[in-house]
Amino acid sequence: MLRAATSEPTALKLGVMDFWSPLELTFRLAPLVDSLGFNRYWLAEHPPQPNPQIAAALIAGLTERIRVGTAGVCLSVHNAFQLANDFLLLERLFPGRIDAGFCGGGASGLWAEALLEGRPDANRDPAVFAAKTDQLIHTLRGDMPAGDRFAGLEPWRERGGTPEIWSLGTGPRSATLAAERGISFGYSLFHHFSRDDTTAVEIYRQQFQSKTAAAAPQVVLAVAGVCAETKAGARTFVAAHRNEFIVPTIVGTPEQCRDQLELLADRYDVREFVFLDVAPDAKSRLRSYELLAEACGLVASATDNSDTAPTVIATAAG
């Protein structure tokens, strides 16, 4: 049963975290959740998986209103300047709908050697990761400091606006990085090493430094689980889950999942989540997101926002 409330709480916002495998399911899921009123569609990266910004471009073209982005690009295996231009192109094509999310992590073994091509591994050197982070953010914002050795680089002449910039992580280090740079923070609770601890989010809010006129702290919690018509059905899906690195914690009927999300929302003082569904097959996963949308009241919000939804820019015709 839903908890009784003394006042009407702010509606939850819900997005999708997608590992985009199988790819065919991603291209079915994205238009569905767009129509259901989900707020974001985030694509993870696990090298040697192709760059998620490529898939983001396809998904943005298949949808109409949902924000689309990466959660996150493994910054260690990318050139920060080229990555920034990729995101700027997406923002130019789909204004107001792009999230540029990055994280630690990367490849290992021979794949790491192949992708790094002799460059320092940012995951092994915090100073290198910080430098790449700043290169990405300053290029996206178009505000490279005058004393920086790359300050003379010509910006991309056809850039549009600046996408939302997100640091994704599981602890205080990523929270501090996001706060010091005045960007948004995604806190993951579904990794096997994640901690259900509000400290990182509190650090982010306390240390946040606004770098632009409109900048304000923004937090999304990333969770994993499954929603089904019955509690027994949800437990059956979780029992079939085999990925030891992903820990499902939001599990049950629509009402139970909504209650679990509300408890986290109250504890972390957030109203937005991205949800990684662990149902074992396409039909069950699609249905899980439908049930979540209904439980969180998302369908009505999709209709309410339809008149103001940003659309892709028009292309020249001959």
| The residue type at 176 | T
Residue 121 within a domain:
yes
Instruction: State how far the Cα of 217 lies from the Cα of 215, in Å rounded to an integer.
Output: 7
Q: Tell me if 240 sits within 8 A of 278, measured CB to CB.
A: no
Residue 194 within a domain:
yes
Parallel, antiparallel or unpaired: strands 272-277 and 250-252? unpaired
Residue 174 within a domain:
yes
Instruction: State how far the Cα of 257 lies from the Cα of 239, in Å rounded to an integer.
Output: 17
Instruction: State how far the Cα of 200 lies from the Cα of 185, in Å rounded to an integer.
Output: 10
Residue 4: what pLDDT?
A: 41
Instruction: State how far the Cα of 201 lies from the Cα of 157, in Å rounded to an integer.
Output: 37
- Which tokens hold the place of 14? 């819900």
Q: Any idea what the CATH number is for the domain that residue 169 is in?
A: 3.20.20.30
Residue 72: what pLDDT?
A: 86
* Range list of H helices, 142-253: 172-181, 199-207, 231-239
Angle between helices 172-181 and 126-141 (to 10 degrees): 40
3-state helix, strand, coil in the chain (%, to 5): 40, 15, 40
| Strand partners for 102 | 73, 167
Residue 47: what pLDDT?
A: 80
Q: Tell me if 58 sits within 8 A of 27, measured CB to CB.
A: yes
Q: Tell me if 111 sits within 8 A of 101, measured CB to CB.
A: no
| The residue type at 85 | N
Q: Answer whether 0.75 is exceeded by the pTM.
A: yes
Residue 186: what pLDDT?
A: 98
Domain tally, the chain: 1
Per-residue confidence of the chain (318 residues) as pLDDT tens digits? 334 444 455 689 999 999 998 899 999 999 999 999 999 999 999 888 889 999 999 999 999 999 999 998 999 889 999 999 999 999 999 999 999 999 987 766 776 667 767 777 777 788 889 999 999 999 999 999 998 999 988 777 788 999 999 999 999 999 999 999 999 999 999 999 999 999 999 999 999 999 876 679 999 999 999 999 999 999 999 999 999 999 999 999 999 999 999 999 999 999 999 999 999 999 999 999 999 999 999 964 444 444 433 334 333 332
Give 144's Cβ-side CA count (13 Å radius).
18
Residue 254 neighbours by CB under 8 Å, 6+ apart: 227, 291, 292, 294, 295
Residue 109: what pLDDT?
A: 76
Cβ atoms within 10 Å of 11's Cβ, excluding its own: 13
Residue 157: what pLDDT?
A: 76
Residue 176 within a domain:
yes
Domain that holds residue 118: 13-305
Residue 6: what pLDDT?
A: 40
Residue 5 within a domain:
no
Instruction: State how far the Cα of 222 lies from the Cα of 42, in Å rounded to an integer.
Output: 10
Q: Tell me if 61 sits within 8 A of 48, measured CB to CB.
A: no
